[in-house]
Structure 1
């Protein structure tokens, strides 16, 4: 019986995703933040800088040098890998650069969407398993494959999680051209409103001094756009609900 057992062919169990594919993005983000926080701490200690001094240097680099906007766009592009909140960076674009920050955010936002799309396409299965909104994404899975542009546009307009949509599009291997075009169009109203909101908060010096002076024109325009975006999202959701019933 032992000989028969030894001669039986062994069945190989399917192997799951490798550790790198499961956790590669998280490890990269951890490495980046470790280097960033460690480098910041060493730099401030060596140069005896306060928090206000270091913030002023960063703002001066971003706003007064040619490389500043390029660095901002690069940071925005890499944002999905670094787990940096998109809304915070968009607010900073308005605060640091004013209305021209809309251009930098559009460039960085679309580049970051393609970055997350590429991550989803490469790392594949596993990226969406732990997300609470996976069932929402799966609702649009078939439509993503059959009608990529319209579906991505709808998902942008109804404010589904930005990076989750990017990962899903990459994981499903939809064509990148309609994905990018729908992202650029669908994200524009929200981008403009958030950038203008960030631009309404005045200067860094005033904020550090506790003197918050809001720009009423930028703030009003931002609020109007936010309300229009919310109204548009409700309209699109209503049409989606009617189509599904």
Structure 2
């Protein structure tokens, strides 16, 4: 938190004072679109969005930027599908196998798995690229991604506003009132509980999907060498396999 106050906050203050609100909204949308594509964290942009625009307009700005930021890697990955496939499966085999399960289902199944992956502690940028090497279509991918981003968006907006409140306390040399302390403690506890709850639910739901998919897989057939099945039953020679002149 101290790093945020000393390094990130001056940058966010400069952005907030250097641009008008319409221009700043465009800058934030662009940063939220580009940063995930080049593996840069977009969380500070979400914080600044929450500080300047609040929950209503801030959520809309983040959703627009995040939707673009999740679409660009999807289409980039489509262009380099064959090169990505081997590298991703070698580096993250379990995660890739999980996403491939989603591609085998219906539109709703794909949508549901993407939502669960977004609210679970699954690498954000990894999902953007891995989805292209599966059979997941763009529409359930982007719809599920946007819905799954809602909890994280709200938590980041609150985090930005909390950072601003702590910064005001630090630089304005004032103390929190009892009401402010209670509000922030309760808000942090609720945010943590929501995050943990969504994570636990997503992990269980994804585990159930994997278990159900494994149960539907047909058992491998036992290959019996030619001539064995006709000449032996239960490990013993059958009557039909004994020559007539021996009897």
Does 1:157 pair with 2:119? yes
**For the Cα contact (< 8 Å) 1:110–1:180, is it kept in 2?**
yes
Moved runs in structure 1, 4+ residues, more than 3 A?
Answer: 51-57, 125-128, 130-134, 203-223, 242-245
206, 213, 218: which one pairs with 1:240?
206
* Shift in alpha-carbon separation, 1:95–1:185, aligned structure 2, 3 A: same
- Paired residues for 1:210-221 under 5 Å: 217=183, 220-221=186-187
Deviates further, 216-225 or 112-121: 216-225
2:103 corresponds in structure 1 to 144
Larger Rg: 2
Once the two structures are superposed, residues 51-101 of structure 1 have per-residue CA deviations (whole angstroms, 9 ceiling, x without a partner) of 998764422134x34211011101111122332203332223223433232
Matches within 5 A, 1:20-169: 56-62=13-19, 64-99=20-55, 100-127=57-84, 129=87, 133-146=92-105, 147-169=109-131
How many residue pairs get aligned? The number is: 194
In structure 2, the residue corresponding to 1:159 is in which secondary structure? coil
Q: Partners in 2 of 1:52 and 1:89 — Cα distance?
A: 11
Name the residue aligned to 1:181: 143
Segments of structure 1 that go 5 or more residues without pairing to the other structure are 1-50
TM-score, normalised via structure 1 length? 0.65
> 1:133, CA displacement in angstroms?
3.7
In 2: Cα distance, 1:173 partner to 1:159 partner: 22
Q: Which ranges of structure 2 fall in alignment gaps of 5 or more residues?
A: 1-7, 212-247
- Contact 1:202-1:213 at 8 Å conserved across structures: no
Aligned to 2:163: 201
